[in-house]
A = this chain, B = another copy of it.
Amino acid sequence: MSESPFQAAVALQPQADGSFLGHTSAAYANMVGPFGGVTAAQALNAALQHPQRLGDPISFTVNFAAALADGPFTVAARPARTNRSTQHWVIEMQQHGETVLTATAFFGLRRDTWGVDEQAMPQVPMPSDVPRAGGPTRVEWTKRYEMRFVEGPIPSDWNGADQGGSRSRVWVRDDPPRPLDFASLTALSDIFFPRVWRRRPVLVPIGTVSMTVYYHADAALLRATGDGYLLGQTQAQAFRGGYFDQTAQLWNEAGQLLVTTHQVVYYKE
């Protein structure tokens, strides 16, 4: 089986000093620099592939300090604290000796407990009943995902009229489809176009500055989800003074909540 574009994009080479060497991926190029979701996945991978890793990711926060230049980068993951069944990571990515990304991650061994999904998957049409978003795209990375919008597609009329809300709902999976893992789930947490464009269709410059991912899925639930579609739902809470937040959920087709995620985004004007 040949390597998928995603696997190739997030691959890291261990270095003698314990850090990893990676490379930006032309397949996931964005307007300026690469798609942040893949950069986040590369950063998480430094902990996932670390020889001292304990357990699976429970939470992950990534801060984008600068647009990455096309080319190589180093990423170092340090286990700042390892307890009996939990582990805290501090992660930093550099290019040309300058920090381009900081991150922290919390890993843990899960145990069986009482549980429930309080945020239920909304009732929406099946993926096969929703057309794929298509047509020419200005950025390469969106071609690496199959997106089928149920509500709130990317605006076609950039008229600036207040839409009264910013919610979108979209079926999404990797293209080509591939079994879900923690790295790809992290990238999928960042596939939502900026809520400021949805609430008020003006093509203002934007950039995510920080994203947090909470993994409700363990490895068994990832396996059960396989290469199926995920339903993503996202909405902003406040836009003010050049920054807005957006919150999102990702369910699998069976309606299990795999991820809740949040980000704060810079916008101009």
Contacts and interface: CB of A to CB of B under 8 A. Distances in A.
Given A111-B242, A236-B118, A264-B58, A80 B104 contact: no
A238 B260 contact: yes
A235 B117 CA distance: 12
Identical subunits present:
2
A24 interface: no
Contacts of A268: 113
Interface stretch (A3-11, A59-67, A146-154): A59-67
Nearest to A113: B242
A79 to B, nearest CB: 9
Contacts of A260: 237-238, 245, 247, 262
Given A210-B59, A237-B257, A92 B80 contact: yes
Interface stretch (A31-39, A181-189, A212-220): A212-220
A102 interface: yes
Contacts of A100: 81
A169 interface: no
Given A66-B83, A113-B241, A241-B112, A118 B235 contact: yes
A111 B241 CA distance: 5
A248 to B, nearest CB: 11
Interface string A226-269: 00000000011111111111010100000001001010101111
Interface of A: 58-59, 61, 63, 65-66, 80-81, 83, 86, 88, 90, 92, 98-100, 102-104, 106, 108, 110-119, 162, 165-166, 199-200, 209-210, 212, 214, 216, 218, 235-245, 247, 249, 257, 260, 262, 264, 266-269
8 tightest Cβ-Cβ pairs between the two chains A and B: A110-B241, A65-B81, A119-B237, A115-B240, A61-B61, A59-B210, A216-B238, A80-B99
